[in-house]
Each structure stands twice: as C-alpha cells, then as structure tokens.
Homo-oligomer: A and B are copies of this chain.
Amino acid sequence: MSTLPLPFPRILLGPGPSSVPPRVLEALGRAPLGYLDPELFEALTELQANLRTVFGTTNDFTLALTGTGMAGMESCLANLIEPGDEVLIGVHGFFGGRMAEIAGRYGAKVHRVEAEWGQPLDPVKVQEAASAAGKLKLVGCVHAETSTGVLQPLGPISEIAKAHDALFLVDAVTSLGGHPVEVDEHGVDACYSASQKCMGCPPGLAPITVSERALDVVAARKSTVTSWYYDWKLIGNYWHGDHMYHHTVPVNLLVALQESLRMIVEETPAARYERHREVSEQLMSGLAKMGIRPFAQEGYRLNTLNSAWIPDGVDDIAVRKALLTQYGLEIGGGLGALKGKVWRIGTMGESAQVRHVALLLAALWGTLHG
C-alpha cells in the first residue's frame, strides 16, 4: 500500500493530544489580545465559570495554568508541600509514580502505596499505609491512569484522607470532560487536568481548582514556595481582583479553552460522559471481536483511554506506523514495563466519535490481517 503524502490531518486516538474541533481551532487562530485587555478578562471570567461546572466545584480558585497537565501536578506539589511534610501517594501506574517523584523533589517524606498496573488502588492498603505513616499533610492519587486505562474510585481514598485530616490531591488529566470528577462531592482539595485530552483544546494549559482549605494551608506556610512561576498566590492575583501582572498568559490558548468549555456546556457534561462511554464500548467490543483483550480490570476501565493487550506475534511499532502513515490514525504504545505489550487508544473529547472508532477498527483489521 502506498504512503500518503505528508502532511495530512491526523485523527488522534493516542493518549493525547486528542483532535481539536474546528470551532476551537478558529478561536485559537484569532489575533491575540493583550494580557491586560478588558475583553480578555471577560473571556477568563466565562472560562472560570464553565470550568467550575466541569470540575463540579464552587471553588473561587478555578483557572487554567500556563503549562501542560504535568505543570498542574508540579504546581500542586510545589504549593502544598513544605520540606519535611509527610505525604501518601497512591501509585497504580506511571503517573502516580511521577506524583511521588515530584513530591520528593519538593522535600516531602513520601509514602507510596502501590497497586499492580491495570488495577485500582486497594483502599484497605491505602488505609494501612495512612495509619502506619506519621501526621499526613496530603493524600494524592490519579483519577484516570493514562498509563493503564484504570479509573480510580475517589470516594474511598477521600474518606481516608479526611480521616487523617490530610489534604486530598487528585490528578484528573485524562478524566476531566470525559468522566465526572465532582471535586466538591468527593472533598477534593486540589485537582488539575490538561487542556488537550477530554477538554477538546490544544495542549498548553492545565485547568486547576483548589479549595479554600488548601489555600489556607498554603497561606500558613513557613517557607516560600520555591517555584515563582507556579506560585498560586501570584497567579491568583493576576486572575482575580486587580489583575496584577505576573506573566504574559497564553491568550490564544485561553481563548481556545474558553471555546472548548462552551462546547462542553452546550453538549452538557452528562451527554458528553455518555458519548465517551458509548464510543469506548464500541471500541472494546470491536477489539474483542478481533480477539484483542482489554488490559485494565473490568469494572474499573476508563472510557477515555482504552488499554488492550497487543496480540502475540504482532509488531507494535510496525502496526502503529502503518496506522499513522496509511490512515493518518495515531494510537499510543505502552509506557514503562508495558512498552510493546499494550496499546493505549484514546477516545477523548472530539476524538470520541463513532466514525473514528469505526475507521480505526477497519484499519487495524486491514493492518493485522490484510
């Protein structure tokens, strides 16, 4: 089969970025406003209101950080942790591991509680680890493990955090906009995500929400936040009140996120979650018919990131290259120990469409058996 001439638009069914709707690309490509333009602040106010809806929160501090999802993670740990603080991090995949690593860089004494990749955290083990630790400042976990495709139930972990009077930190990078996160209902104190997954926006922004309780803890710090760029106090002073200059925010990306949030609200979050569920089911059902088995444990599978075992004898790299060059379809490979063993197929935001999954299934069949 001949290779298509490059460049041609991709259909992004990897772990992110996902494809971006034309409406959002149009907003992105508008002539920029200045960072103190009154029209920009109107846009940011609307963005914040809609972001609160999607996070399921009334938190005042709900905004989009400059940087990608990992900047959201770093900002949470940089602000919430002081050297010597004890924290408990649930590690059931690559990104939980990162949370633990970065917490360590900011001086925390890190207690890790592990689960096998493909499984959620075991609340009994989390409870045991919390009880064995000293006074915990923070309990953190990943809601949607992009490395494994596992959805972590937040309720049980939140209860443990509350029982130990610890802050509850949640990574919602691959869930926000695709699964309900419900920050207030779950008593989450800090939650971050990324613009380029289920939000349907290009990469470069990290939506974040922080509770009053967590902000009070930050205000009572004995030490200065090492990171100036991600210091919440300085960032809050730009987004709120007198809009004090901190850095030149990425106005084009923010206007694009404003537009993608409008699309989420217009679709309604509930309908959006149902669309993600249906498309994921279509995909997993189609893979099953080809004999391709799911990786993540049943009952805990994400609708946004679908992990599946690569069939025996199949060349991971060759298949993904054929999908990309022949069909313009991107899917993801495994991370860490899962490299070459699983595929990670994203059905997120604009990419969560019946026609994209139908094409992927046809293309995969053609590549494996054609």
Residues of chain A having any CB pair with chain B under 8 Å? 6-7, 9-10, 12, 14, 16-17, 19-20, 25-26, 28-39, 66-71, 74, 78, 98, 101-102, 105-106, 194, 196, 202-204, 224-229, 245-253, 324, 330, 335
Contacts and interface: CB of A to CB of B under 8 A. Distances in A.
Contacts of A251: 17, 202-203
Contacts of A66: 67-68, 71, 204
Nearest to A18: B32
A247 B29 contact: no
Q: Which applies to chain A's interface (DSSP): helix, strand, loop or mixed?
A: loop
B228 A330 contact: no
A25 B30 contact: yes
Contacts of A71: 66-67, 229, 247
Contacts of A35: 17, 203
B204 A17 contact: no
A252 B34 contact: no
A10 B29 contact: no
A68 B33 CA distance: 16
29 contacts: A6-B39, A7-B39, A10-B33, A10-B34, A14-B36, A17-B251, A19-B31, A19-B32, A25-B30, A25-B31, A28-B28, A28-B252, A32-B202, A37-B324, A67-B71, A67-B229, A68-B249, A69-B248, A70-B229, A70-B246, A70-B247, A71-B229, A105-B228, A106-B226, A203-B250, A204-B250, A226-B226, A226-B227, A253-B253
Contact of A68 (B31, B248, B330): B248
A10 B30 CA distance: 11
A25 B252 CA distance: 10
Contacts of A32: 10, 12, 17, 19-20, 196, 202-203
Contact of A247 (B36, B68, B224): B68
B6 A31 contact: no
Nearest to A330: B34
Contact of A69 (B20, B105, B245, B247): B247
A15 to B, nearest CB: 8
Contacts of A26: 29
B101 A202 contact: no
